Amino acid sequence: MQGEQEKYSKTHVQPKSFVFTEKGLENIEIGKPFLDSTAVVENLYDRVEVKREFDEIGLYYRLYYNFYLGDSLVIYTEADDATKKIQFISVRSDNVELENGIRQGMSIHDLIEKYNLTIEYSKGEENTMISTSWNGFSIYFTSDQLTEKGQRKIANLDDYGSTTLMTDDLNENITISVLVRQI
């Protein structure tokens, strides 16, 4: 048995954990151009897709870098097409964490308990979201599943309305899905 455990510990390698800071993540930095679309960061991304689209009004192009690990989109960025400077980074990877340990997959209840953050429910014309923020990062959650108490609380919200949610408004299974930093 000990030989099997020893063999497992030598062959099983945990992926490196990356820290998403206010400056960015590895070679993807807020306010700086991303110049090497052939770059690879082991255990973070293995390919980059570059896309250009007109903005909503059709005046200028937006530049998007999508970073994949295998088939999974793990990092999505937006940049100014003229300068190539990254203006927005969205991370969906469980091997990336903020400096304080907040990471994708963390339970909303753990987040509230450990970091004492306020959770907001926002209703838009076409979508709703549960989110919070910490030190300039926006943190979004996987689900808008609320308890009966939470459902009553949001029932009469107008479009573009928002309200603060308490622990007893939130189901246990809500977890962090996306970490975002933008200029």
What was the pLDDT predicted at 93? 93
Lowest mean pLDDT, pick from 14-23, 86-95, 112-121, 162-171:
14-23
**What is the model's pTM?**
0.82
Residues 165, 129 contacting (CB under 8 angstroms): no
pLDDT value at position 143? Answer: 65
pLDDT band for 144, please (50, 70, 90 cuts). Answer: low
* Opening angle at CA 136, ends 131 and 138, nearest 5: 20
Measured distance CA(141)–CA(155) in Å, rounded: 19
Instruction: Write down the pLDDT at residue 156.
Output: 82
Higher pLDDT, 58 or 151: 151
Apex CA 88: angle with CA 83 and CA 94, to 5°?
135
Per-residue pLDDT at 15: 57
Neighbour tally for 183: CB within 10 Å: 11
Q: Which amino acid is at 61?
A: Y
Q: What is residue 61's predicted lDDT score, i.e. its pLDDT? A: 77
How far, in whole angstroms, is CA 25 from its chain's centroid? 12
Cα dihedral 8, 94, 115, 167, rounded to 10, equals -110
